[in-house]
Amino acid sequence: MIPLTPQAIQNSRDDDPAWRAAMRSAIRDPRELLDLLDLPHELIAGAEAPLRAFPLLVPRGYAARMRRADASDPLLRQVLPLAKEAASVPGFVTDPVGDGPALAGPGLLHKYHGRALLITTGACAVHCRYCFRRHYPYAEASASRGHWNTVLETLRAQPEIDEIILSGGDPLMLDDEKLAALVAALESLPQLRRLRLHTRLPVVLPERVDAGLLTWLRRSRLRIVCVIHANHANELDDSVATALDRLRGVGVTLLNQSVLLRGVNDDADALEALSRRLFECGVLPYYLHLLDAVAGAAHFDTPEARATAIVRALRARLPGYLVPRLVREEAGHDAKTEIPLRA
């Protein structure tokens, strides 16, 4: 295991939740991460500009699941900044999924019938280099507490919206007091039936699934769906399995969405192992996304023909409920675009 640094131990506070202490000790220097993994600093040569624009952030518990001395480790590849992120690639833009045009209020995105999405925070526990919101203007377009009344009134005027999605950043980066207050406000809207959390924290920071979180989840009148984000079976160690089991224990429905990433999970063996491990953890595979064409992430792109071949192979190996739907999100469309599996 990668140990806590003396500075991280000194910075911890007795009255803080464990997950907050874990975030303060997270790795922010790519050279430190490479040293811990016995890898050369040359791997990040030329990555200064991408690193300034989108800093590295990796919890130590997540880094501990990476293989030492393996530059191709699938977890490391998701978080390590590379010089090629600075390349300008045609078609790769800052807002690939049309979040800007979909803004219906402060941090409120309305793309699909019956559902609305709240950008609750710009904070995450890990900075994934393929993130489709790595350029999102969080300072100007998030549903901060000062905007809640505006958001509630906007939703109240649209009774057809019966599901609210909390996203970000990552909504579980908010403390439990703020989250519980937000959910209580949303519960005052009689048309709402479901609350969906899009979060990577149970995977990268399982300490976040603590008693405080479970308390308000258990008490909500809304049916709660938690869509986690895991791309590789190696992410799902025993600590993650325990966190997911605790969520299921308070009645949360668990789904997973993955992104198809070159050099991480772009083969049938990796995705089969992921689906099997997810099911062991009580999670159903939901979506397998083709990469959103966000500037800085073109090196992760996987051709559609390869993607369809992989999913056809999964269909031959797995029961249907363990095969995620292969989709692409396209700006301006009224639903995810499901990719046909042509032979």
Q: What is the pLDDT of residue 332?
A: 84
Q: What sign does the CA torsion over 39, 41, 42, 46 have?
A: positive
Burial (CB count <10 Å: 0-12, 13-18, 19+), residue 10: exposed
- The arithmetic mean of pLDDT across residues 16-29, rounded, is 96
Roughly how many angstroms between the first and final C-alpha of the chain, as a whole number? Answer: 44
Q: Which residues are annotated as a binding site?
A: 124, 128, 131
Q: Which residues are annotated as a binding site for [4Fe-4S] cluster?
A: 124, 128, 131
User: Given a cut of 50, is residue 6 above it in pLDDT?
Assistant: no
User: Given a cut of 80, is residue 13 above it in pLDDT?
Assistant: no
Q: What is the pLDDT of residue 334?
A: 82
pTM of the model: 0.93
CB proximity list for 184: less than 8 A, separation 6 or greater: none
Q: What is the pLDDT of residue 34?
A: 98
User: Given a cut of 60, is residue 265 above it in pLDDT?
Assistant: yes
Mean pLDDT estimate for the chain: 93
Which value, in Å, is the radius of gyration of the alpha carbons in the chain? 20
CATH dotted code for 99-338: 3.20.20.70
* Two structure tokens written together for 85: 């992120």
Coil, helix or strand for 49? helix
- The arithmetic mean of pLDDT across residues 175-203, rounded, is 96
Q: What is the pLDDT of residue 5?
A: 40
Q: What is the pLDDT of residue 147?
A: 75
User: Given a cut of 60, is residue 205 above it in pLDDT?
Assistant: yes
Q: How confident is the model at residue 138 (pLDDT cuts 50, 70, 90)?
A: confident
More confident residue, 343 or 9: 343
Domain ranges in the chain with CATH number 3.20.20.70: 99-338
More confident residue, 93 or 15: 93
What distance in Å separates the CA atoms of residue 199 and residue 139, rounded to the nearest whole number?
Answer: 20
Query: Which of 44-58, 119-133, 140-154 is predicted least confidently?
Result: 140-154
Q: What is the pLDDT of residue 134?
A: 93
